[in-house]
Amino acid sequence: MSIQLENVNYIYGESSGQEKWALKNINLTLHDNEFVGIVGHTGSGKSTLTQLLNGLEKPSSGQILYNGQDIQAEGFSKKELRRKAGLVFQYPEHQLFEVSVIKDVEFGPRNLGLTNLEVEKRSFDALKQVGISDELLDVAPFALSGGQKRRVAIAGVLAMQPEVLILDEPTAGLDPAGRTEILELLQRLHRENNISVILVSHSMDDVARYAERILVMNQGELVLDGAPEKVFRYRKELREIGLDVPQSANILYELRDRGMDVDTNGITPEQAAQNIADYLRRQS
């Protein structure tokens, strides 16, 4: 699996005369089995980008290639693309509609025209993977808690067995525990099932810990692209567009600025603490 974007532009409201560039000249290659974080503010174009990736929106100009094939070409199956590039929207309320959790998850695989047995098997597996226990299977999805709804929504896409899982702000509105739970789940799916994960978020802290590669968007443009440690070196530039580096990395950089020679490659608090300890040991 690889997704390639070449000179992609997206313009809103061309017909009404009030044009707005949501995406400006995006060039990007997403590789197989990557955990990519897309970070940016509201209106930076990150949500539009996710919808281009699975063909829900059409770029105003430019090309998107999935495994080298142009997704806008005639004869390219959008349905197949949406199965392979599974997109989970921000609010689970936008997709849950069935009378029970299991039936809702079955909606996706059933649309693929699979046999009943296969549909049920995939749905059970998906729910197990996201950690929904058996006694919740027959509960109405609207009766679940926020975190549970989100996991059911993820299962609904997972049951279609995508090659890449794209999630738009999956942690918005969750408490810290729920947030960690979802992010750990994504990491586990990435490692155990070998699927690519594209995680869209406005919080650098969320993304930094789990993503192997970070894309920073600002006002429709891709401004930074690289491994987290590499991206955080541009602390000043990030601050200018209103994004912060994770708190632990921030502390390391501040210490460095004040003359302590600590290793600034530390994203998690544990790493940061280790780096500081190493420095102190070297000093004594």
Residues near other proteins (CB under 8 A): 13, 15-17, 51, 54, 56, 79, 82-83, 86-89, 91, 93-97, 107-108, 111-112, 142, 156-157, 160
- Are residues 254 and 238 in contact, defined by beta-carbon separation less than 8 angstroms? no
Q: Can you tell me the distance from the alpha carbon of 173 to that of 163, in angstroms, rounded to the nearest whole number? A: 27
Q: What angle do CA 56, 243, 54 make, to 5 degrees?
A: 10
- As beta bridge partners, residue 63 has 6
Give the nearer residue to other proteins in terms of CB position, either 26 or 88: 88
DSSP 141: G
CB of 282 to other proteins, least distance (A): 52
Give the nearer residue to other proteins in terms of CB position, either 92 or 228: 92
DSSP 49: H
CB of 8 to other proteins, least distance (A): 18
Give the nearer residue to other proteins in terms of CB position, either 86 or 170: 86
Give the nearer residue to other proteins in terms of CB position, either 196 or 218: 196
37: buried, middle or exposed (CB in 10 Å: 19+, 13-18, 0-12)? buried
CB of 62 to other proteins, least distance (A): 20
The CA–CA distances, whole Å, from 32 to 29, 111, 196, 205 equal: 10, 26, 6, 24
CB of 156 to other proteins, least distance (A): 6
